[in-house]
């Protein structure tokens, strides 16, 4: 474990900015705020690895803070040096320097090449790249066309910027020339604070590969084949000042927001790392592109040096305090540093080995300088091809990924439709003919498309031989860290209070700030390419099936409605039927009851007749005859009724039977009744001489009694007639009923 090296560099005071209150005093490795008369202000004294005052040159700063890192990089250690501070505090001056006093980048490049010259037993291959992070977009400063590059990560290369141009170089001049051309592409802006102020972060990167020199050309890997690969990052950060103070607006303000937000994430990362290994938890490297690229340098496998530049003027006192607090926190960070030795094709030296050896053989005898130049050109060509291929591979992979996601979403949709179809079918709805076959077809198609999704149909053949070996030494940072979204754009900027608190070690809850979610996977292009056609076909099919499903669902709903109505009607009918059944039962019981009633009536009738017969003294009288015929008619009538009702009560004989018999008896009875009534009417007046004589012979009282008896007698006969008429009526009624 190794602590980060933290130094402070104080820029020379600008003469116009006079101080009349306080000043920063530098004593050895300590910087403290003093009052004008020299009294130190308590709580504002900071100690670092090195503190350089205004008189320090870039040469001295390089010697003190970064030289060791450069040398270590040549030996295979990752290294990072970055300048942090407010705008106009001297970051760019420190990193890039001036004509007379070259900066750290210049010196580092020179030093690295010088160092490699001294190591005669190793072969070196150095390549450089230069990028800028502007508004959270990575742009290539060596190739203007390479804009908005994406960060990728894999086991072999770790975190890398895909598509970034790399140039193989073999001397300082070459590199400086490339840097100069890159500078032209940088975004420069002007603010009130500085005439020329960079609004972007720049990262100059050197990848140094080296291997022990030997003549072994066999393809077998041995320990001498281990290649050291180290990455050196030299970073010039944009200003860390508060936005309000810049007084900028419009586009400039937006730039400021990005810069400060990006630095806020850096502050968060530093604060979290400085909490110590145990309290660290999740480090939000992924919350900004800057921290993601610098991930190995912050708590990972790298020797790191932070140069905090401060502007000594009193007007900048708050920013200076913030920078010093940031530096104090950074001092607590420890990195785990080790030489990176790898055996795989990840090393360019390894990949180019055979081609270069072949070329060397061909050009044997040529002048050494010419040979080296040709080799360099070949190497760059090979590298360009490789980078181009890598870029295409990444694009292809992205395309494939988006295709897979697209196919997957279609498949999911189709499965949903199939499920819905199944539900419709299983709910008893008799779908249209062919429904099952459609479902089957669809299922088949789904399976087919699924197999395509998971198959290798779209995979290009792997051009790279699978490495026989393994990553021999790879730092722990290469394992994928916890996910947190990569912000593309920031709509919010951290406020001043938060910014000041961050400098004091406060860790901002990034989730509470509005962050844009991770970049959406590029949607599948709607060109006339084959995959697009098939996707269009799928889309149409899905649309068609959706429509079909909608119609089927509507039909099912209609049927369900009708079904419910039918059930209601059924219930009503069942009620009616049970009512009718009850009535039918009553009707069935009616003949039995009537039969009983007839039997009762017959008894009463018999009783009445016997009583009446007791009043008849003369068997030959008219009354006796009338009574006799009435009795006969009555008995006949009751017998008829009894017969008829007994037929009705018998289950086996239908009640409807023998109507002709009833009608016949009815006729006979009617005739008898008519003749009896006629004879009764005639008997009301004494027609014969005997009768008239009887009447005359009776005493007056007897006459009255006899007449009254006769009248009662006749009345009784009338009642009997009434009963008989009633019986006739019943008979008629049942005739009608049975008909």
Q: How far is the CB of 87 from Mg ion (least distance, A)?
A: 7
Please identify, among the stretches 36-44, 90-98, 161-169, 372-380, the one whose residues bind Mg ion according to the rule CB under 5 A.
90-98
Q: How far is the CB of 8 from ligand ADP (least distance, A)?
A: 12
Four-point Cα dihedral 624, 625, 630, 636, nearest 10: 120
Six-digit token string for 604: 């009463």
Residue number of the CB closest to ligand ADP reads: 90
Residues 191-220 that bind ligand ADP (CB under 6 A): 194, 197-198
Phi, psi of 495 (to 5 degrees): -80, 170
Rg (CA), the chain: 59
Candidates 32, 92, 304, 320; binder of ligand ADP (CB under 6 A) is 92
Q: Which does 487 bind (CB under 5 to 8 A by kind): Mg ion, ligand ADP, none?
A: none
532 contacts 499 by C-beta, under 8 angstroms: no
* Greatest C-alpha distance within the chain: 193
Question: Would you call 452 exposed, middle or buried from its count of C-beta atoms within 10 A (0-12, 13-18, 19+)?
Answer: middle
CB neighbours of 695 closer than 8 A, spacing ≥ 6? Answer: 686, 703
Q: How far is the CB of 379 from Mg ion (least distance, A)?
A: 33
Please identify, among the stretches 84-92, 167-175, 218-226, 252-260, the one whose residues bind ligand ADP according to the rule CB under 6 A.
84-92
Angle of helix 700-738 relative to helix 659-683, nearest 10 degrees, comes to 160
Residues 659-678 that bind ligand ADP (CB under 6 A): none
Q: Does 638 bind ligand ADP (CB under 6 A)?
A: no
40 contacts 32 by C-beta, under 8 angstroms: yes
Q: How far is the CB of 7 from Mg ion (least distance, A)?
A: 18
Residues 344-373 that bind ligand ADP (CB under 6 A): none
Six-digit token string for 443: 């299922």
Per DSSP, the chain holds a count of helices (H) and strands (E) of 18, 19
Q: How far is the CB of 75 from ligand ADP (least distance, A)?
A: 30
SS3 570: helix
In SS3 terms, 686-705 reads as CCCHHHHHHHHHCCHHHHHH
Q: How far is the CB of 198 from Mg ion (least distance, A)?
A: 4
Residues 298-317 that bind ligand ADP (CB under 6 A): 309
Q: Does 79 bind ligand ADP (CB under 6 A)?
A: no
Residues 617-636 that bind Mg ion (CB under 5 A): none
CB neighbours of 221 closer than 8 A, spacing ≥ 6? Answer: 343, 468, 469
Q: How far is the CB of 138 from ligand ADP (least distance, A)?
A: 20
Q: How far is the CB of 186 from Mg ion (least distance, A)?
A: 10
State the Cα–Cα distance between residues 312 and 323, nearest whole angstrom: 12
Q: Does 239 bind ligand ADP (CB under 6 A)?
A: yes
Candidates 12, 40, 276, 428; binder of ligand ADP (CB under 6 A) is 12
Please identify, among the stretches 91-99, 241-249, 257-265, 350-358, the one whose residues bind ligand ADP according to the rule CB under 6 A.
91-99
Q: Does 11 bind ligand ADP (CB under 6 A)?
A: yes
Q: Does 107 bind ligand ADP (CB under 6 A)?
A: no
State the Cα–Cα distance between residues 399 and 169, nearest whole angstrom: 33
Q: Does 92 bind Mg ion (CB under 5 A)?
A: yes
Report which of 55, 130, 14, 50 is spatially closest to residue 308, judged by C-alpha positions. Answer: 50
Q: Which is nearer to Mg ion, 112 or 248 (CB)?
A: 248
Q: Does 487 bind ligand ADP (CB under 6 A)?
A: no
Q: Which is nearer to ligand ADP, 93 or 142 (CB)?
A: 93
Q: Does 261 bind ligand ADP (CB under 6 A)?
A: no
Pattern 56-85, binding to Mg ion, x per CB under 5 A? Answer: ------------------------------
- CA 96: distance to chain centroid? 49
Q: Which does 194 bind (CB under 5 to 8 A by kind): Mg ion, ligand ADP, none?
A: ligand ADP
State the Cα–Cα distance between residues 704 and 135, nearest whole angstrom: 144
Cα distances (Å, whole numbers) of residue 245 to 192, 242, 326, 621:
9, 6, 19, 151
State the Cα–Cα distance between residues 206 and 80, nearest whole angstrom: 10
Query: Could you give the angle at the alpha carbon of 347 between the alpha carbons of 110 and 465, nearest 5°?
Result: 160
Residues 187-226 that bind Mg ion (CB under 5 A): 198
Task: Return the residue matching tokens 């249209």.
Answer: 432
SS3 542: helix
Q: Which is nearer to ligand ADP, 197 or 439 (CB)?
A: 197
State the Cα–Cα distance between residues 13 and 272, nearest whole angstrom: 34
How many residues are recorded in the chain? 739
261 contacts 288 by C-beta, under 8 angstroms: yes
Residues 562-581 that bind ligand ADP (CB under 6 A): none
Please identify, among the stretches 87-95, 560-568, 631-639, 707-715, the one whose residues bind ligand ADP according to the rule CB under 6 A.
87-95
Q: Which is nearer to Mg ion, 62 or 638 (CB)?
A: 62
Q: Which does 11 bind (CB under 5 to 8 A by kind): Mg ion, ligand ADP, none?
A: ligand ADP
State the Cα–Cα distance between residues 257 and 494, nearest whole angstrom: 8
Please identify, among the stretches 87-95, 152-160, 493-501, 567-575, the one whose residues bind Mg ion according to the rule CB under 5 A.
87-95
Q: Which is nearer to Mg ion, 5 or 83 (CB)?
A: 83
Q: How far is the CB of 235 from Mg ion (least distance, A)?
A: 11
Q: Does 89 bind ligand ADP (CB under 6 A)?
A: yes
Q: Which is nearer to ligand ADP, 92 or 262 (CB)?
A: 92
458 contacts 403 by C-beta, under 8 angstroms: yes
Size of the site for Mg ion (CB under 5 A): 3
Residues that bind ligand ADP (CB under 6 A): 11-12, 85, 87-93, 194, 197-198, 239, 309
Residues that bind Mg ion (CB under 5 A): 91-92, 198
């Amino acid at each position: 474990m190794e602590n980060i090296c933290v130094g402070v560099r104080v820029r020379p005071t600008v003469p116009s900015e006079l101080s009349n209150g306080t000043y920063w005093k530098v004593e050895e490795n300590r910087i403290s705020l003093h009052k004008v008369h020299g009294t130190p202000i308590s709580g504002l004294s900071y100690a670092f690895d090195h503190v350089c005052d205004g008189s320090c040159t870039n040469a001295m700063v390089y010697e003190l803070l970064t030289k060791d890192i450069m040398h270590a990089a040549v030996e295979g250690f990752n290294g990072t040096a970055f300048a942090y501070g407010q705008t106009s505090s001297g970051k760019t001056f420190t990193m890039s320097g001036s004509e007379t006093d070259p900066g750290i980048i210049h010196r580092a490049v020179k030093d690295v090449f010088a160092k490699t010259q001294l190591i005669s037993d190793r072969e070196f291959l150095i390549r450089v790249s230069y990028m800028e992070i502007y508004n959270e977009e990575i742009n290539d400063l060596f190739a203007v066309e390479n804009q908005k590059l994406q960060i990728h990560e894999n086991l072999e290369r770790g975190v890398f910027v895909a598509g970034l141009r790399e140039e193989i170089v073999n001397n300082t001049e070459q590199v400086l020339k490339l840097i100069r051309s890159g500078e032209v592409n940088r975004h420069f802006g002007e603010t009130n604070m500085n005439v020329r102020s960079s609004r972007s972060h720049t990262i100059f990167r050197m990848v140094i590969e080296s291997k022990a020199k030997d003549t072994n050309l066999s393809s077998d890997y041995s320990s001498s084949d281990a290649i050291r690969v180290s990455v050196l990052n030299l970073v010039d950060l944009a200003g860390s000042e508060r936005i309000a103070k810049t007084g900028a607006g419009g586009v400039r303000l937006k730039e400021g927001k990005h810069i400060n937000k990006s630095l806020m994430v850096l502050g968060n990362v530093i604060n979290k790392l400085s909490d110590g290994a145990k309290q660290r938890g999740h480090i939000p490297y992924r919350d900004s592109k800057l921290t993601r690229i610098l991930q190995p340098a912050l708590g990972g496998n790298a020797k790191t040096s932070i140069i905090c530049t401060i502007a000594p003027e009193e007007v900048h006192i708050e920013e200076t305090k913030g920078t010093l607090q940031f530096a104090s926190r950074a001092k607590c960070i420890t990195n785990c540093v080790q030489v990176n030795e790898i055996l795989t094709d990840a090393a360019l030296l390894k990949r180019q080995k055979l081609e270069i050896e072949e070329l060397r053989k061909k050009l044997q005898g040529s002048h050494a300088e010419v040979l080296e130049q040709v080799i360099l050109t070949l190497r760059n060509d090979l590298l360009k091809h490789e980078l181009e291929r890598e870029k295409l591979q990444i694009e292809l992979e992205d395309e494939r990924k988006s295709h897979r996601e697209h196919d997957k979403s279609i498949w999911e949709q189709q499965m949903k439709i199939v499920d819905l179809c199944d539900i419709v079918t299983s709910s008893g709805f008799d779908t249209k003919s062919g429904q099952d076959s459609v479902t089957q077809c669809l299922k088949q198609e789904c399976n087919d498309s699924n197999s395509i999704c998971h198959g290798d149909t779209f995979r290009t053949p792997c051009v790279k031989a699978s490495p026989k070996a393994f990553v021999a030494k790879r730092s722990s940072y290469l394992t994928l860290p916890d996910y947190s979204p990569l912000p593309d754009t920031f709509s919010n900027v951290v406020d001043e209070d938060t910014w000041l608190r961050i400098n004091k070690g406060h860790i901002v809850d990034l989730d509470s700030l509005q962050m844009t979610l991770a970049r959406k996977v590029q949607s599948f292009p709607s060109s006339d390419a084959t995959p697009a056609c098939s996707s269009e076909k799928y889309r149409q099919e899905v649309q068609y099936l959706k429509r079909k499903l909608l119609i089927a669902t509507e039909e099912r709903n209609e049927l369900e409605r009708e079904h419910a109505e039918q059930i209601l009607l059924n219930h009503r009918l069942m009620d009616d039927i049970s009512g009718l059944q009850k009535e039918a039962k009553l009707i069935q019981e009616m003949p039995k009851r009537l039969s009983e009633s007839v039997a009762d009536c017959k008894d009463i009738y018999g009783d009445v007749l016997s009583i009446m017969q007791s009043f008849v003294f003369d068997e030959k009288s008219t009354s006796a005859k009338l009574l006799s015929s009435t009795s006969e008619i009555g008995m006949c009538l009751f017998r008829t009724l009894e017969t008829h009702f007994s037929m009705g009560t018998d289950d086996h004989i239908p009640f409807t039977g023998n109507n002709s018999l009833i009608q016949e008896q009815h006729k006979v009875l009617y005739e008898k009744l008519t003749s009896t009534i006629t004879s009764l009417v005639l008997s009301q007046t004494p027609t014969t001489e005997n009768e008239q004589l009887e009447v005359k012979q009776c005493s007056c009282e007897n006459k009255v009694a006899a007449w009254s008896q006769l009248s009662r007698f006749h009345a009784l006969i009338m009642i009997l007639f009434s009963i008989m008429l009633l019986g006739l009526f019943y008979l008629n009624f049942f005739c009608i009923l049975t008909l």
